[in-house]
Protein backbone atom coordinates (compact mmCIF):
# COMPACT_ATOMS: atom_id res chain seq x y z
CA UNK A 1 0.00 0.00 0.00
CA UNK A 2 1.34 3.39 -0.96
CA UNK A 3 2.42 5.57 1.95
CA UNK A 4 1.04 9.08 1.57
CA UNK A 5 2.28 10.30 4.97
CA UNK A 6 3.78 13.78 5.00
CA UNK A 7 6.53 14.50 7.50
CA UNK A 8 7.91 17.79 8.73
CA UNK A 9 10.52 19.12 6.36
CA UNK A 10 9.72 16.60 3.61
CA UNK A 11 8.85 17.50 0.04
CA UNK A 12 5.22 17.15 1.13
CA UNK A 13 3.77 18.09 -2.29
CA UNK A 14 5.16 14.84 -3.66
CA UNK A 15 2.99 12.77 -1.31
CA UNK A 16 0.07 15.06 -2.05
CA UNK A 17 0.47 14.71 -5.83
CA UNK A 18 0.76 10.92 -5.60
CA UNK A 19 -2.39 10.81 -3.47
CA UNK A 20 -4.24 12.92 -6.05
CA UNK A 21 -3.03 10.69 -8.88
CA UNK A 22 -4.08 7.48 -7.12
CA UNK A 23 -7.28 8.52 -5.36
CA UNK A 24 -9.15 11.21 -7.25
CA UNK A 25 -12.68 10.56 -8.50
CA UNK A 26 -13.43 11.89 -11.97
CA UNK A 27 -16.86 11.90 -13.63
CA UNK A 28 -16.89 12.49 -17.39
CA UNK A 29 -19.46 14.57 -19.24
CA UNK A 30 -22.51 12.78 -20.70
CA UNK A 31 -21.80 11.86 -24.32
CA UNK A 32 -23.13 9.70 -27.15
CA UNK A 33 -19.70 9.47 -28.81
CA UNK A 34 -19.14 6.04 -30.32
CA UNK A 35 -22.69 4.74 -29.81
CA UNK A 36 -23.70 2.85 -32.95
CA UNK A 37 -27.26 1.46 -32.98
CA UNK A 38 -27.99 -1.97 -34.49
CA UNK A 39 -30.83 -4.48 -34.85
CA UNK A 40 -33.44 -1.81 -35.64
CA UNK A 41 -32.91 0.26 -32.49
CA UNK A 42 -32.27 4.00 -32.92
CA UNK A 43 -31.58 7.07 -30.87
CA UNK A 44 -34.57 9.03 -29.59
CA UNK A 45 -35.05 10.86 -32.89
CA UNK A 46 -38.09 12.80 -31.66
CA UNK A 47 -36.12 14.28 -28.73
CA UNK A 48 -32.42 14.10 -29.50
CA UNK A 49 -31.26 16.09 -26.42
CA UNK A 50 -32.57 13.13 -24.40
CA UNK A 51 -31.22 10.35 -26.58
CA UNK A 52 -29.09 7.58 -25.04
CA UNK A 53 -25.80 8.81 -23.54
CA UNK A 54 -23.17 7.46 -21.18
CA UNK A 55 -20.54 8.77 -18.80
CA UNK A 56 -17.66 7.10 -17.05
CA UNK A 57 -16.46 7.31 -13.46
CA UNK A 58 -12.80 6.72 -12.76
CA UNK A 59 -10.96 6.52 -9.45
CA UNK A 60 -7.25 7.18 -9.69
CA UNK A 61 -7.56 6.86 -13.45
CA UNK A 62 -9.09 3.35 -13.19
CA UNK A 63 -12.58 2.79 -14.61
CA UNK A 64 -14.95 1.88 -11.76
CA UNK A 65 -18.38 2.55 -13.29
CA UNK A 66 -20.20 3.47 -16.50
CA UNK A 67 -23.62 5.09 -16.32
CA UNK A 68 -26.24 5.15 -19.07
CA UNK A 69 -29.25 7.45 -19.33
CA UNK A 70 -31.65 8.71 -21.98
CA UNK A 71 -34.11 7.18 -24.41
CA UNK A 72 -33.91 4.60 -27.19
CA UNK A 73 -36.50 3.82 -29.89
CA UNK A 74 -37.18 0.14 -30.41
CA UNK A 75 -38.19 -1.93 -33.46
CA UNK A 76 -41.11 -4.37 -33.31
CA UNK A 77 -40.53 -6.63 -30.28
CA UNK A 78 -41.46 -10.16 -29.21
CA UNK A 79 -40.23 -12.06 -26.18
CA UNK A 80 -38.87 -14.84 -28.40
CA UNK A 81 -36.14 -12.47 -29.54
CA UNK A 82 -34.46 -13.08 -26.18
CA UNK A 83 -31.30 -11.07 -25.55
CA UNK A 84 -30.57 -8.58 -28.33
CA UNK A 85 -27.83 -5.99 -28.79
CA UNK A 86 -29.15 -2.42 -28.91
CA UNK A 87 -25.95 -0.64 -29.84
CA UNK A 88 -22.22 -1.04 -30.07
CA UNK A 89 -20.08 0.95 -27.63
CA UNK A 90 -16.47 2.02 -27.29
CA UNK A 91 -14.48 -0.80 -25.71
CA UNK A 92 -12.78 1.62 -23.30
CA UNK A 93 -16.01 2.29 -21.33
CA UNK A 94 -16.36 -1.27 -20.02
CA UNK A 95 -14.40 -4.08 -18.43
CA UNK A 96 -14.63 -7.79 -18.93
CA UNK A 97 -14.79 -8.52 -15.21
CA UNK A 98 -17.21 -9.26 -12.40
CA UNK A 99 -19.90 -6.59 -12.69
CA UNK A 100 -22.46 -5.04 -10.36
CA UNK A 101 -25.55 -4.17 -12.41
CA UNK A 102 -27.62 -1.32 -10.97
CA UNK A 103 -30.96 0.15 -12.06
CA UNK A 104 -31.07 -2.14 -15.09
CA UNK A 105 -34.84 -2.70 -15.19
CA UNK A 106 -36.42 -1.10 -18.22
CA UNK A 107 -40.17 -0.61 -18.60
CA UNK A 108 -41.19 -0.46 -22.24
CA UNK A 109 -44.89 0.01 -21.58
CA UNK A 110 -47.27 -0.84 -18.76
CA UNK A 111 -46.47 -4.31 -17.51
CA UNK A 112 -43.79 -4.90 -20.14
CA UNK A 113 -40.40 -5.10 -18.52
CA UNK A 114 -36.90 -5.85 -19.74
CA UNK A 115 -33.44 -6.09 -18.24
CA UNK A 116 -30.53 -4.15 -19.71
CA UNK A 117 -27.01 -5.50 -19.73
CA UNK A 118 -23.53 -5.19 -21.19
CA UNK A 119 -21.85 -7.61 -23.55
CA UNK A 120 -18.21 -7.01 -22.70
CA UNK A 121 -16.80 -9.30 -25.38
CA UNK A 122 -18.89 -7.76 -28.16
CA UNK A 123 -18.83 -4.23 -26.63
CA UNK A 124 -22.59 -3.75 -26.73
CA UNK A 125 -25.54 -2.64 -24.61
CA UNK A 126 -28.10 -5.46 -24.56
CA UNK A 127 -31.79 -5.83 -23.82
CA UNK A 128 -33.37 -9.02 -22.45
CA UNK A 129 -36.85 -9.38 -23.96
CA UNK A 130 -37.86 -12.65 -22.26
CA UNK A 131 -39.99 -10.67 -19.79
CA UNK A 132 -42.39 -9.39 -22.45
CA UNK A 133 -45.92 -10.80 -22.24
CA UNK A 134 -47.14 -9.24 -25.47
CA UNK A 135 -45.73 -8.09 -28.78
CA UNK A 136 -44.95 -4.41 -29.22
CA UNK A 137 -45.09 -2.35 -32.41
CA UNK A 138 -42.00 -0.51 -33.64
CA UNK A 139 -41.32 3.11 -32.74
CA UNK A 140 -41.89 3.21 -28.98
CA UNK A 141 -39.28 4.99 -26.89
CA UNK A 142 -38.04 3.57 -23.58
CA UNK A 143 -35.76 5.01 -20.96
CA UNK A 144 -32.39 3.60 -19.93
CA UNK A 145 -31.05 4.36 -16.43
CA UNK A 146 -28.53 1.55 -16.06
CA UNK A 147 -25.20 1.67 -14.23
CA UNK A 148 -22.47 -0.97 -14.33
CA UNK A 149 -19.81 -1.06 -11.63
CA UNK A 150 -16.50 -2.95 -11.45
CA UNK B 1 -9.56 16.09 -15.98
CA UNK B 2 -9.08 18.48 -13.11
CA UNK B 3 -5.46 19.30 -12.38
CA UNK B 4 -4.83 19.40 -8.63
CA UNK B 5 -1.04 19.21 -8.95
CA UNK B 6 1.03 21.28 -6.56
CA UNK B 7 4.55 22.26 -7.61
CA UNK B 8 7.49 23.14 -5.39
CA UNK B 9 7.37 26.80 -4.40
CA UNK B 10 3.89 27.39 -5.89
CA UNK B 11 2.47 30.49 -4.19
CA UNK B 12 -1.23 29.70 -4.59
CA UNK B 13 -1.10 25.98 -3.77
CA UNK B 14 -4.01 26.39 -1.34
CA UNK B 15 -6.32 26.86 -4.36
CA UNK B 16 -5.33 23.42 -5.66
CA UNK B 17 -5.64 21.80 -2.26
CA UNK B 18 -9.03 23.38 -1.51
CA UNK B 19 -10.40 22.33 -4.92
CA UNK B 20 -9.46 18.74 -4.14
CA UNK B 21 -10.68 18.82 -0.55
CA UNK B 22 -14.08 20.19 -1.64
CA UNK B 23 -14.45 18.16 -4.83
CA UNK B 24 -17.11 15.89 -3.30
CA UNK B 25 -19.67 17.39 -0.93
CA UNK B 26 -22.40 15.19 0.53
CA UNK B 27 -25.21 16.71 2.59
CA UNK B 28 -26.99 15.04 5.50
CA UNK B 29 -30.25 13.17 4.95
CA UNK B 30 -33.06 15.61 5.68
CA UNK B 31 -36.82 16.15 5.42
CA UNK B 32 -36.38 19.95 5.19
CA UNK B 33 -38.91 21.55 2.87
CA UNK B 34 -40.78 18.36 1.95
CA UNK B 35 -44.52 19.03 1.57
CA UNK B 36 -46.85 16.07 1.03
CA UNK B 37 -49.82 16.51 -1.33
CA UNK B 38 -52.75 14.52 -2.78
CA UNK B 39 -53.25 12.36 0.33
CA UNK B 40 -49.67 11.09 0.56
CA UNK B 41 -48.06 11.42 4.00
CA UNK B 42 -44.99 10.77 6.09
CA UNK B 43 -44.45 7.11 7.01
CA UNK B 44 -46.04 7.40 10.46
CA UNK B 45 -45.62 3.70 11.34
CA UNK B 46 -41.87 4.28 11.49
CA UNK B 47 -41.16 7.96 11.26
CA UNK B 48 -37.37 7.43 11.45
CA UNK B 49 -37.61 5.85 8.01
CA UNK B 50 -39.94 8.36 6.43
CA UNK B 51 -38.74 9.76 3.10
CA UNK B 52 -35.64 11.96 3.19
CA UNK B 53 -33.27 13.40 0.61
CA UNK B 54 -29.63 14.44 0.35
CA UNK B 55 -27.42 16.00 -2.31
CA UNK B 56 -24.03 14.85 -3.56
CA UNK B 57 -22.02 17.39 -5.53
CA UNK B 58 -18.91 16.45 -7.46
CA UNK B 59 -17.71 19.69 -9.02
CA UNK B 60 -20.48 20.53 -11.55
CA UNK B 61 -22.25 17.18 -11.17
CA UNK B 62 -25.23 17.04 -8.80
CA UNK B 63 -27.05 13.95 -7.59
CA UNK B 64 -30.21 14.20 -5.46
CA UNK B 65 -30.96 10.93 -3.66
CA UNK B 66 -34.30 10.03 -2.11
CA UNK B 67 -34.72 7.20 0.38
CA UNK B 68 -37.37 6.13 2.87
CA UNK B 69 -41.05 5.32 2.83
CA UNK B 70 -44.21 7.28 2.02
CA UNK B 71 -47.78 6.47 3.14
CA UNK B 72 -49.90 6.22 0.02
CA UNK B 73 -53.64 6.75 -0.42
CA UNK B 74 -55.79 4.45 -2.56
CA UNK B 75 -54.90 5.01 -6.20
CA UNK B 76 -56.87 4.32 -9.34
CA UNK B 77 -55.53 2.29 -12.24
CA UNK B 78 -55.16 5.51 -14.24
CA UNK B 79 -53.03 7.38 -11.66
CA UNK B 80 -50.23 8.82 -13.77
CA UNK B 81 -47.65 11.46 -12.92
CA UNK B 82 -49.50 12.10 -9.66
CA UNK B 83 -47.56 14.34 -7.26
CA UNK B 84 -46.80 12.71 -3.88
CA UNK B 85 -44.80 15.56 -2.42
CA UNK B 86 -42.94 18.70 -3.30
CA UNK B 87 -39.25 19.19 -2.68
CA UNK B 88 -37.45 22.55 -2.51
CA UNK B 89 -36.76 23.93 -6.00
CA UNK B 90 -33.40 25.13 -4.70
CA UNK B 91 -32.17 21.53 -5.01
CA UNK B 92 -32.27 21.89 -8.79
CA UNK B 93 -30.91 25.42 -9.15
CA UNK B 94 -28.26 25.58 -11.81
CA UNK B 95 -28.99 22.01 -12.92
CA UNK B 96 -31.09 21.49 -16.03
CA UNK B 97 -31.34 19.14 -18.98
CA UNK B 98 -30.10 15.61 -19.42
CA UNK B 99 -30.49 13.39 -16.35
CA UNK B 100 -30.12 9.85 -15.17
CA UNK B 101 -33.00 8.61 -13.03
CA UNK B 102 -31.71 5.80 -10.88
CA UNK B 103 -34.04 3.08 -9.53
CA UNK B 104 -37.27 4.64 -10.81
CA UNK B 105 -39.19 1.37 -10.59
CA UNK B 106 -40.56 0.23 -7.27
CA UNK B 107 -43.57 -1.52 -5.72
CA UNK B 108 -46.40 -0.52 -3.46
CA UNK B 109 -46.85 -2.83 -0.50
CA UNK B 110 -48.73 -5.67 -2.15
CA UNK B 111 -46.29 -6.09 -5.06
CA UNK B 112 -48.00 -3.71 -7.48
CA UNK B 113 -45.45 -2.00 -9.70
CA UNK B 114 -45.14 1.74 -10.03
CA UNK B 115 -42.66 4.24 -11.39
CA UNK B 116 -41.51 7.42 -9.66
CA UNK B 117 -40.22 10.59 -11.24
CA UNK B 118 -39.14 14.02 -10.15
CA UNK B 119 -40.09 17.09 -12.16
CA UNK B 120 -37.24 19.58 -11.67
CA UNK B 121 -39.33 22.43 -13.06
CA UNK B 122 -42.03 22.09 -10.35
CA UNK B 123 -40.18 20.20 -7.60
CA UNK B 124 -42.86 17.50 -7.62
CA UNK B 125 -41.99 13.88 -6.83
CA UNK B 126 -44.61 11.92 -8.76
CA UNK B 127 -45.83 8.33 -9.03
CA UNK B 128 -47.45 6.42 -11.88
CA UNK B 129 -49.42 3.22 -11.26
CA UNK B 130 -47.91 0.39 -13.35
CA UNK B 131 -49.79 -2.49 -11.73
CA UNK B 132 -49.92 -5.68 -13.79
CA UNK B 133 -52.76 -7.29 -11.83
CA UNK B 134 -56.24 -7.82 -13.26
CA UNK B 135 -57.46 -5.28 -10.71
CA UNK B 136 -55.03 -2.42 -11.19
CA UNK B 137 -56.48 -0.28 -8.41
CA UNK B 138 -54.05 0.12 -5.50
CA UNK B 139 -55.24 0.12 -1.88
CA UNK B 140 -53.91 2.64 0.61
CA UNK B 141 -50.53 1.32 1.70
CA UNK B 142 -46.90 2.48 1.59
CA UNK B 143 -44.11 2.87 -0.88
CA UNK B 144 -40.37 2.43 -0.27
CA UNK B 145 -38.41 4.87 -2.42
CA UNK B 146 -34.73 4.46 -3.36
CA UNK B 147 -34.71 6.87 -6.26
CA UNK B 148 -32.02 9.30 -7.35
CA UNK B 149 -31.63 11.87 -10.08
CA UNK B 150 -28.24 12.87 -11.44
CA UNK B 151 -27.08 15.57 -13.85
Query: How many beta carbons lie within 10 A of that of residue A117, not counting itself?
Result: 19
Query: How many beta carbons lie within 10 A of that of residue A110, not counting itself?
Result: 16
Mind listing the pLDDT tens digit for each residue in A31-66? Answer: 999 999 999 999 999 999 999 999 999 999 999 999
Instruction: Extract the runs of DSSP E, i.e. beta strands, from B9-111.
Output: 24-26, 35-36, 41-42, 52-58, 61-72, 82-86, 100-102, 105-108
Pairing of strands B112-119, B124-129: antiparallel
Residues of B in contact with A24 (CB under 8 A): 2, 4, 20, 23
DSSP A76: S
C-alpha to C-alpha distance for A86 and A38, rounded to whole angstroms: 6
CB–CB of A17 and B6 under 8 A?
A: yes
CA distance B131 to chain A (A): 7
CB–CB of B100 and A68 under 8 A?
A: yes
What pLDDT does residue B132 have? 79
Tell me, what's the ipTM?
0.86
Which chain B residue has its CA at the smallest distance from A26's CA?
B1
Residue A71: pLDDT band with limits 50, 70, 90 = very high
What pLDDT does residue B131 have? 85
C-alpha to C-alpha distance for B69 and B40, rounded to whole angstroms: 11
User: Quick one: three-class SS letters along A99-137?
Assistant: CEEECCEEEEECCEEEEEEEECCCCEEEEECCCCCCCEC
Closest CA to A25 of B19, B88, B15: B19
Query: How many beta carbons lie within 10 A of that of residue A63, not counting itself?
Result: 17
What pLDDT does residue A63 have? 98
C-alpha to C-alpha distance for B117 and B107, rounded to whole angstroms: 14
Which chain A residue has its CA at the smallest distance from B105's CA?
A105
Mind listing the pLDDT tens digit for each residue in B3-27? Answer: 999 999 999 999 999 999 999 999 9
Query: Closest partner residue to A20 among B4, B58, B102, by Cβ?
Result: B4
Q: Are B40 and B84 in contact (CB under 8 A)?
A: yes
Judge whether residue B2 has pLDDT over 90.
Answer: no
Amino acid sequence: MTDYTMTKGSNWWQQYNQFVKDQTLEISAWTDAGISFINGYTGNTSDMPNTLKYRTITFGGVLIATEFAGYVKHPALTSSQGVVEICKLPSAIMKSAFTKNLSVTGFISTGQYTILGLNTTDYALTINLWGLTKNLAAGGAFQVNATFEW
Amino acid sequence: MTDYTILKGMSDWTIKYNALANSIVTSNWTTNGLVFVNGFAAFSQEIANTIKYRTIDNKGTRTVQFAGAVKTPALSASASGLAMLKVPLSLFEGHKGFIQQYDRYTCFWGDQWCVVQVKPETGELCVTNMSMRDDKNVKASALQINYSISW
